[in-house]
Amino acid sequence: MNLLVIFFFTASGLNSLLLPASPGGVLSFFAHSEADEAIFYNPTNLEAGEDFRVSFFYNNLYVSTRSFSLSLSKKVKTLDFGIGVNNFDYGNMELHPDYPSEDTTINYQANDFSLIFCGSAWITRYGKLGINLKYISENIYIYSDWAIASDLSLAYCGETGKISFGATNIGSKITIHNEEVDLPAKLSLGMLKEFRKIVFCSDLHYLINTGQFEFSLGGEIPFGGGFKLGISANYHQHFYPGFNLVFALNKIEIRYGGAIYPYHLGLINSFGISFLF
Range name among 74-78, 99-103, 119-123, 207-211 with the lowest pLDDT average: 99-103
Q: What is the mean pLDDT of residues 131-155?
A: 86
Report pLDDT for 239. Answer: 82
- The residue with greater pLDDT, 89 or 222, is 222
Among 100-114, 219-233, 252-266, the range of highest mean pLDDT: 219-233
Rounded Cα–Cα distance for residues 71 and 86 (Å)? 9
**Residue 178, SS3?**
coil
Instruction: Dump pLDDT digits (tens) for 16-39.
Output: 444 565 655 555 578 888 888 899
Is the pLDDT reported for residue 10 higher than 60?
no
Is the pLDDT reported for residue 2 higher than 60?
no
Q: What is the mean pLDDT of residues 160-164?
A: 92
Q: What is the mean pLDDT of residues 159-165?
A: 92
> What phi, psi does 225 have (nearest 5°)?
70, 20
Beta strands in the chain (DSSP E): 53-60, 66-76, 79-95, 106-122, 127-140, 143-157, 161-168, 173-176, 179-182, 186-195, 198-207, 212-224, 227-236, 238-249, 252-261, 266-276
Strand 186-195 with 161-168, pairing: antiparallel
Rounded Cα–Cα distance for residues 127 and 109 (Å)? 43
- The residue with greater pLDDT, 138 or 131, is 131
Report pLDDT for 6. Answer: 41
Q: How many domains does the chain have?
A: 1
Residue type for position 212 = Q
**Residue 25, SS3?**
helix
What Cα–Cα distance (Å) separates residue 10 from each residue in 5, 58, 86, 169, 179? 9, 24, 19, 16, 12
Is the pLDDT reported for residue 210 higher than 70?
yes
Is the pLDDT reported for residue 236 higher than 50?
yes
User: How would residue 104 be classed by pLDDT, with cut points 50, 70 and 90?
Assistant: low
Report pLDDT for 67. Answer: 83
Rounded Cα–Cα distance for residues 60 and 271 (Å)? 9
Report pLDDT for 187. Answer: 92
Report pLDDT for 142. Answer: 66
CATH of the domain at 37: 2.40.160.60
Residues in the chain: 277
Is the pLDDT reported for residue 189 higher than 90?
yes
- The residue with greater pLDDT, 8 or 159, is 159
Is the pLDDT reported for residue 262 higher than 90?
no
Residue-number span of the structural domain to which 127 is assigned: 2-276
* Contact predicate 186/17, CB 8 Å: no
* Contact predicate 14/236, CB 8 Å: no
Report pLDDT for 3. Answer: 42
Instruction: Dump pLDDT digits (tens) for 40-94.
Output: 889 999 988 888 999 998 888 766 778 888 999 999 888 999 999 988 887 766 6
Is the pLDDT reported for residue 13 higher than 70?
no
Query: Structure pTM?
Result: 0.84
Is the pLDDT reported for residue 9 higher than 50?
no
